């Protein structure tokens, strides 16, 4: 197993949920750290911590939704140890970053030794990266080295809202929206929800209902209610919240995200 910040792997090892025969610490690889913008693309090294993202003016300017989300992850200890690469490679359904990166249309830069890629490296779109709870397309001989996403344009606004577990700040239900505006009219939308499904789930019905409409309270309410039909039947439930409760909360959290994004769009 690869050890990045240790925030996800070490607790699983203590609970005997993971028993890797070997652990390789990659924390000293400086080339996998750092934040930069080149030709309209924000690139974040996989070993960049949540705290570094939350404190970055570059991220705040290029992708404010990521900057705000990083500030709400766990507590200071978690933010200073946990990394964006370790977070998404762990693929916990309750994590915030997978949902936010889905709405930001991120790409994952993966490095291997050949194997299934034969070229040693590949780039995977976010919609193809997560395959199930705690599983991704990463092969055993591959590691995630960086995350890339488009810099938000002036007429684009993205927001994330979640019902957070009070002890861990994990998302019981999380919802993200990215809208492209022409005045008060939405010309493109990208919706994702997490915390209640095995992987981040897109909301194509909501997206279609928003596009071409003015983002009035009535239109937002009508569109976000459609998320229920996009969720499918595999809804997660546990001692913190039942599947039925999570399903009901999805539209509510999505409304919060869209209303906030609309407020930004109108100022």
Alpha-carbon gap, residue 264 to 203, rounded angstroms: 21
Q: Which of 56, 33, 49 is nearest to 83 (CA)?
A: 49
CATH number at residue 245: 3.30.390.50
User: How many domains, the chain?
Assistant: 2
Which SS3 state, helix, strand or coil, does residue 120 take?
Answer: coil
| Domain boundaries, position 240 | 156-265
Alpha-carbon gap, residue 71 to 120, rounded angstroms: 34
CATH number at residue 123: 3.30.465.10
Same domain for 182 and 98: no
Which pLDDT does position 267 carry in this prediction? 44
Which SS3 state, helix, strand or coil, does residue 206 take?
Answer: helix
pTM above 0.75? yes
> Any idea which residue has 């809202």 for tokens?
161
Alpha-carbon gap, residue 119 to 42, rounded angstroms: 24
Same domain for 113 and 161: no
Same domain for 197 and 131: no
Alpha-carbon gap, residue 103 to 175, rounded angstroms: 9
Same domain for 183 and 69: no
Per-residue pLDDT of the chain (267 residues; tens, 9 = 90+): 777 766 667 777 777 877 888 887 777 888 899 999 999 999 999 999 999 999 999 999 999 999 999 999 988 888 998 999 999 999 999 999 999 999 999 999 999 875 444 557 899 999 999 999 999 999 988 999 999 999 999 999 999 999 999 888 899 999 999 999 999 999 999 999 999 999 999 999 999 999 999 999 999 999 999 999 999 999 999 998 999 999 999 999 999 999 999 885 544
Among 150, 165, 191, which residue terminates a domain? Answer: 150
Same domain for 181 and 140: no
């Amino acid at each position: 197993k690869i050890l990045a910040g240790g925030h996800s792997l070490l607790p699983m090892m203590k609970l005997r949920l993971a028993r890797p025969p070997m652990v390789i610490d990659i924390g000293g690889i400086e080339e996998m750290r750092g934040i930069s913008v080149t030709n309209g693309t924000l690139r974040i090294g996989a070993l960049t911590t949540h705290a570094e993202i939350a404190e970055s003016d570059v991220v705040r300017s290029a992708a404010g939704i990521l900057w705000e989300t990083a500030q709400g992850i766990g507590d200071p200890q978690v933010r200073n140890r946990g990394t964006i690469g370790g977070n998404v490679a762990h693929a916990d359904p309750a994590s915030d970053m997978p949902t936010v990166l889905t709405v930001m249309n991120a790409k994952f830069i993966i490095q291997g030794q050949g194997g299934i890629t034969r070229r040693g490296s590949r780039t995977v779109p976010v919609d193809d990266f997560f395959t199930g709870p705690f599983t991704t397309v990463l092969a055993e001989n591959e590691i995630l080295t960086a995350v890339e996403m488009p810099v938000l344009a002036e007429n684009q606004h993205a927001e994330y809202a979640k019902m957070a577990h009070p002890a861990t700040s994990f998302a019981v239900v999380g919802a993200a929206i990215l809208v492209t505006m022409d005045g008060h009219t939405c010309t493109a939308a990208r919706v994702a929800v997490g915390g209640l499904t095995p992987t981040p789930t897109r909301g194509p019905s909501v997206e279609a209902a928003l596009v071409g409409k003015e983002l009035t309270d009535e239109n937002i309410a009508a569109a976000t209610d459609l998320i229920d039909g996009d969720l499918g039947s595999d809804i997660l439930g546990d001692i913190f919240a039942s599947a039925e409760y999570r399903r009901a909360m999805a539209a509510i959290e999505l409304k919060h995200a869209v209303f906030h994004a609309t407020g930004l769009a109108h100022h």
